[in-house]
Structure 1
Amino acid sequence: MTDFQADAVSPEAGAVPTARQQSLVRAAARALSRAGLVHAYGHCSLRLDADAFLVCAARPMGQIDPTEDGVVVPVNGELPDGVLGEVRIHQQIYQRRPDVQSVIRSMPRDVMTLSAAGLTPSPRHGMGSYFSPGVPLWQDPQLIRTEAQAAGVADTLGTGPAVVMQGNGTVIAAASIEEAVVLTWYLEDAARIELQLRAAGLADAPGLTPDQCAQRATRAGRIFERMWEYLCAGDPEFAEVL
């Protein structure tokens, strides 16, 4: 477990985001952009309750300013006006995974490179251990524009933390938006290691065993909290999200 805790939503208010939840989504979006994990495309969301979630504004994530609130989206139902079509992926994951409190759709460079060859990173180092025994690949390069496609991505994700989309980035599902941001960074680092080993002719070198991964993939010692603080450093809402 980590120290991250979800903000409560008043039952009588329904799915009304708190000020801190809005700040969290904005800060997460900007953190992903600063780290080079998104560019013009990408989106992140935070579950509000069983029936709704908050998704960031439909803009380049690094350009979302502290005055721009996200949009509340139903877990089941039509997307509200102005919400990006691929947010259907978030809906399908939240429908299947009550454990998931945040979903991030991003396009990290090295993950994209591997996926274009039909590959995903293997668990070869500490940060890759969180994705043991491996990251599944959605083998369709098309943008997700239908519920059927979104359901396919969610089914490919299964019970894991990540799915890679062939030539089209990745989706991360986690127990908090802070963890989702950190796992996105970890997955890109695992892809960097994978590419460097392959470039050095070391693709056949053994990775971590499942037992090693289980031991290494810890959440103790403020592992996720420290990376979240690092990625949010300098953010205009830094104080609000710690």
Structure 2
Amino acid sequence: MTATPAAQRDLRIAARALARHGLAHAYGHCSVRLDEGNFLVCASRPMGLIAPGEPGTVVPVAGALPAGVLGEVRLHQQIYRRHAHVRAVTRTMPPSLMALGTARRTPRTRHGMGAYFGAGAALWDDPQLVRDDERAAAVIDAMGGANAIVMRGNGVLVASDSLAKAAVLTWYLEDAARIELAVLAAGLQDESVVLDAAERERRATDAGGIFERMWEYLSAGDPEINFQETRA
């Protein structure tokens, strides 16, 4: 199985976007599903340093990781294996989510961007790296039907039905964490309104180019993209 040049390029753009906006540093990775049995993961290096034309690696959904692929890519394997609708995964280290995670907290749905996570992201209460199949399976079990899981002191995993949307949702969840920390710091946790189920459902829309506009913002300035392409 080989990935098309377009898939390779789109993955590089997403990887660099995540790094450019402070959602990942030396650690982190992202991937996109190619077909039922394979996905493409970005190069095993800091995502912001992935060069134009630098290829990712095709990884089987079931089986051993190819040589040189990072151990925590097993998390991607487990998501793709269990959730046929998932087309892309991000594994990042956003600072506000990292801070909340150390307190065994995930952001409450206090603003519009948080509504895309329903009642909230799941929590994995273990700071250890996930480098074996058993632990990776347990993390995805804990994730359940959520589209994100915060890993205590170890970043976050986000899954979605497109690569651009997975990157956007990663930014949204970090923004929800920023809001959560600000509310807590101001002592307003009791006064700050948490959206109810009906409000969340109404607000979590994809109409009106919501995701497209944020993707344009995230990917702007990438060396493999131009302004016209972001508006196509």
Normalised to the residue count of structure 1, the TM-score between the two structures is 0.92
1:108 alignment counterpart: 94
Is residue 204 of structure 2 the alignment partner of residue 223 of structure 1? no
Q: Distance in 2 between matches of 1:48 and 1:104?
A: 15
Q: Which of these residues, 91, 102, 110, is aligned with residue 77 of structure 2?
A: 91
Q: Which of these residues, 25, 43, 53, is aligned with residue 39 of structure 2?
A: 53
Q: Distance in 2 between matches of 1:206 and 1:227?
A: 25
After TM superposition, the structure 1 = structure 2 runs for residues 18-167 of structure 1, keeping only pairs within 5 Å, are 18-167=4-153
1:232 alignment counterpart: 219
Q: Distance in 1 between matches of 2:26 and 2:164?
A: 21
One-letter code aligned to 1:135: A
Task: Give RMSD over aligned pairs.
Answer: 1.0
Deviations 1:64-87 (A, max 9, x none): 011210000000000000000000
1:206 deviation in Å? 2.8
2:156 alignment counterpart: 170
1:40 deviation in Å? 0.0
One-letter code aligned to 1:107: M
Aligned to 1:222, the other structure's residue is in SS state helix
Aligned to 2:207, the other structure's residue is in SS state coil
1:4 alignment counterpart: none
**Which sections of structure 1, spanning at least 5 residues, go unmatched?**
1-14
One-letter code aligned to 2:195: L
Deviations 1:108-161 (A, max 9, x none): 000000001110001110000001111110011100011111001111111221
Deviations 1:2-22 (A, max 9, x none): xxxxxxxxxxxxx32111100
Q: Distance in 1 between matches of 2:54 and 2:152?
A: 31
One-letter code aligned to 1:172: V
1:11 alignment counterpart: none
**Which sections of structure 2, spanning at least 5 residues, go unmatched?**
none
Runs of 4+ residues deviating >3 angstroms:
239-242
The answer to whether the Cα contact below 8 Å between 2:110 and 2:193 also exists between their aligned partners in 1 is: yes
Q: Distance in 1 between matches of 2:134 and 2:124?
A: 13
Q: Distance in 1 between matches of 2:215 and 2:225?
A: 10
Q: Distance in 2 between matches of 1:181 and 1:114?
A: 20
Aligned to 1:198, the other structure's residue is in SS state helix
The answer to whether the Cα contact below 8 Å between 2:9 and 2:53 also exists between their aligned partners in 1 is: no
Q: Distance in 2 between matches of 1:228 and 1:206?
A: 28
